[in-house]
């Protein structure tokens, strides 16, 4: 294992040790269905995106160490960069085709890692899901990974708009069964297939909202 991977694993576990108790003790935190996340092999957790706190909350809700894409502007501050790198973040340039980020994403999945993806591509409003983006479907298709839908609720109340004080709301994270995507994975690649994969991701997340 390369040194930077070892350091990231150490940082993840150290930050996990400190943030994990805080999550469960102060946030009325509930995780449902976490056993549905495969413990090995390439896995994509496809979640709705409602707050800056989403990645660490989802990380603490299930057993896998995760990686996730984050806009490159978040890496400009060295202190914040250290924190998000500890949780597996790596930069992506939004609004343009970031070939490096795509290749690195596929490399991680090829190495049987767990990747957190927000198929909507940007933060949305609680209770309202946007359309899934083609890029999310393409990553799943090219990696042939298992995709676990995830629904996060309550995260926007940790730091409500206009507030300067952290709150302690109820946080619910729900995981569903891995999606059945073999029919799409076995189809010839196309933009339409990628979009269909993304649509199924969003449909899987929407189903969790009914539980």
pTM of the model: 0.86
The helix (H) or strand (E) run that includes residue 110 is: helix 99-110
The helix (H) or strand (E) run that includes residue 92 is: strand 89-92
Mean pLDDT, residues 34-43: 96
pLDDT at 4 over 60: no
pLDDT of residue 159: 79
DSSP 8-class letter at 187: S
Q: Which of 98, 87, 108 is nearest to 13 (CA)?
A: 87
pLDDT by residue (tens digit) across 94-140? 655 578 888 989 999 999 999 999 999 888 888 889 999 999 999 99
Q: Mean of the per-residue pLDDT values for the chain?
A: 86
Q: Which domains does the chain have, with CATH numbers?
A: 3-208 (3.40.1130.10)
Dihedral sign for Cα atoms in the order 102, 108, 112, 115 = negative
């Amino acid at each position: 294992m390369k040194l930077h991977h070892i350091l990231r694993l150490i940082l993840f576990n150290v930050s996990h040790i400190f943030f994990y108790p805080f999550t469960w003790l102060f946030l009325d935190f509930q995780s449902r269905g976490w056993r549905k996340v495969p413990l090995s092999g390439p896995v994509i957790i496809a979640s709705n995106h409602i707050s800056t706190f989403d990645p660490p909350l989802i990380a603490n809700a299930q057993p896998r160490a995760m990686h996730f894409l984050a806009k490159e502007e978040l890496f400009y501050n060295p202190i914040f960069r250290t924190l998000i790198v500890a949780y597996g973040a790596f930069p992506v340039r939004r609004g343009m085709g970031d070939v490096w980020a795509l290749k690195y994403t596929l490399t991680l999945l090829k190495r049987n890692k767990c990747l957190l993806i927000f198929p909507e591509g940007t933060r949305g409003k609680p209770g309202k899901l946007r359309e899934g983006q083609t890029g999310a479907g393409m990553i799943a298709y090219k990696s042939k990974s298992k995709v676990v839908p995830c629904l996060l609720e309550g995260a926007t109340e940790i730091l409500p708009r206009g507030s300067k004080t952290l709150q302690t709301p109820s946080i619910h994270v729900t995981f569903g069964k891995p999606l059945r995507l073999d029919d799409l994975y076995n189809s010839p690649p196309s933009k339409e297939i990628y979009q269909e994969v993304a649509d199924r991701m969003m449909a899987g997340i929407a189903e969790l909202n009914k539980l």
